[in-house]
Structure 1
Amino acid sequence: MKPFFAELFQYTFRFNDKVTDALIAGNIVPMPEKALTLLNHTINAHEIWNARINGSKCHTQVWEMRPIDKLKAINAQNYQDSLAILESTDIETVISYTNSKGQAFTNTVKDILFHVINHSTYHRGQIAISCKENGITPLVTDYIFYKRDLEV
């Protein structure tokens, strides 16, 4: 199961990175504000979930807007932190945490990790819709395209 999660995090990292690259390179201009907001949210949430699993303090807010040129480094750090979690943590471990609304919850590391991956995919889909609504051809970020790229 851990190798599969590692592959899914590589997929998540790669396509978050490609979306960020496209925005930085100006391939998506004018850049829809909603797309930038969702990209920030996706990367911020990943950072927050990693901190929850690690039991560390995270000063990032879930809807915080950070400069796009910083998102690549944060995305890369999120990926490395998730891989470290996979290496050092039993994924069946139950984590207690408080969400951004102050509510207390418990979930397994496995469920949290899957949520992070699913959450990223969901919001990349919303980014694609935002681009399309603004007359911009969105990047294709489906998992199967990731797998096909690996075969080339």
Structure 2
Amino acid sequence: MQTIKRMIEHQIWADKRMMAGLRANGGKPADAVKLMRHLATAEQVWVTRLNGQSSAHLQLWQDDADLDSLEELLASNEASYRAYADGLTEEKLDEMVSYANQSGVMFSTSVRDILSQVVLHGQYHRGQINRALKEAGGTPQALDYILYARMQ
């Protein structure tokens, strides 16, 4: 239980640091900002599903990302994930959540696996964003979990 909750806290921390890196590089490159929007929207999709709501209205890939709207979305995600984690129990981790994916196909997945997906998906894309930042002359952000853990 504590591991999942700490992984969520790491996700929040890493998203903020990634946004700081994108801001420091003037919101460039555009593909890195697009990936950050995808990451933030995917986090929103999953917490929406965890809360028993449809995510059909959310679009995972769009080109219209800007840093201000991304920071608003990430702040909303942060509040949603913290509220969700506050009510989480060991028993709830193994509860099944039924949902439709963005194509309308129905699935049923445990809360534990959904939360693991969220944090691992974010880590994957933050790595891609860091690479794009570096290639654009920006400074990649140090986002490893161990760095977060050392700060606690």
| Other structure's SS at 1:96 match | strand
In the TM superposition, structure 1's runs of 4+ consecutive aligned residues that sit over 4 Å from their partners are none
Between the aligned partners of 2:38 and 2:82, the Cα distance in structure 1 is 20
Aligned residue runs from structure 1 range 15-34, under 5 A: 15-24=14-23, 27-29=24-26, 31-34=28-31
| Other structure's SS at 1:135 match | coil
Q: How many residues align?
A: 147
Q: Which amino acid aligns with 1:103?
A: V
Match of 2:39 among 37, 42, 46: 42
Q: Which amino acid aligns with 1:62?
A: L
Q: 1:149: which partner in 2?
A: 151
Between the aligned partners of 1:50 and 1:67, the Cα distance in structure 2 is 22
Inter-CA distance 52–34: structure 2 relative to 1 (3 Å threshold): same
Percent identity over paired residues: 31
What RMSD, in angstroms, separates the aligned Cα atoms of the two structures? Answer: 1.7
After TM superposition, the score normalised by the length of structure 1 is 0.87
Q: 2:138: which partner in 1?
A: 136
Match of 1:60 among 36, 58, 61: 58
Displacement of 1:105 after TM fit? Answer: 1.1
For structure 1, the 5+ residue unaligned runs are none
C-alpha contact (below 8 Å) 2:93/2:110 kept by paired residues:
yes
For structure 2, the 5+ residue unaligned runs are none
Displacement of 1:63 after TM fit? Answer: 1.3
